[in-house]
Amino acid sequence: MRSLLAALALCLALAAPAFAGSPVDINRADAQTLADALDGVGLAKAKAIVDYRQAHGAFRSADQLTEVKGIGARTVERNRANILLNGARPAAVAAKPAAKTVPAARK
């Protein structure tokens, strides 16, 4: 019986990451749903997201989440594939172009 419980506990522990990171609409979800769906976002940060949304209106992009205290760019990037805006996935942010090099002046 103990080994069965240990195996079950191991299965649940390994399956937990599969439950985290499910798609979530950041403009419609309540705090608990946000906390459950977004990696690195606990209930306090999720409440801050909801409070920000109520004070400033709907998010226009996933990157706007960084305006919420406690949510950084790394958290947004880690969750970008699972963030929905009004039921649709936001477009991926294009990488910044490399800086152009200016050739040295000839003498």
Q: What is the DSSP string of 42-67?
A: -HHHHHHHHHHHHHH-S-SSGGGGGG
Query: What are the residue boundaries of the structural domains of the chain, listed by start?
Result: 23-84
Q: Which two tokens stand for residue 40?
A: 């690195």
pLDDT of res. 68: 98
pLDDT at residue 95 in the model = 46
Confidence at residue 89, expressed as pLDDT on a 0 to 100 scale: 82
Distance CA 73, CA 86 (A): 21
Put simply, whether the predicted model's pTM sits higher than 0.75 gets the answer no
pLDDT in tens, the chain (107 residues): 667 556 655 554 444 444 456 899 999 999 999 999 999 999 999 999 999 999 999 999 999 999 999 999 999 999 999 999 998 887 665 444 455 555 666 65
Cα-based distances in Å from 61 to 13, 25, 40, 87, 107: 33, 11, 19, 12, 49
Query: Which stretches within the chain are classed as H helix?
Result: 2-19, 31-37, 43-56, 73-79
Predicted confidence at residue 103, as pLDDT, reads: 61
Residue 21, sorted as left (phi over 0), alpha (psi -120 to 50) or beta, turns out to be left
Question: What's residue 65's pLDDT?
Answer: 98
At residue 90, the pLDDT reads: 75
> Exposed, middle or buried, 103 (CB in 10 Å: 0-12/13-18/19+)?
exposed
Superfamily of the domain at 23-84: AF1531-like domain (1.10.150.280)
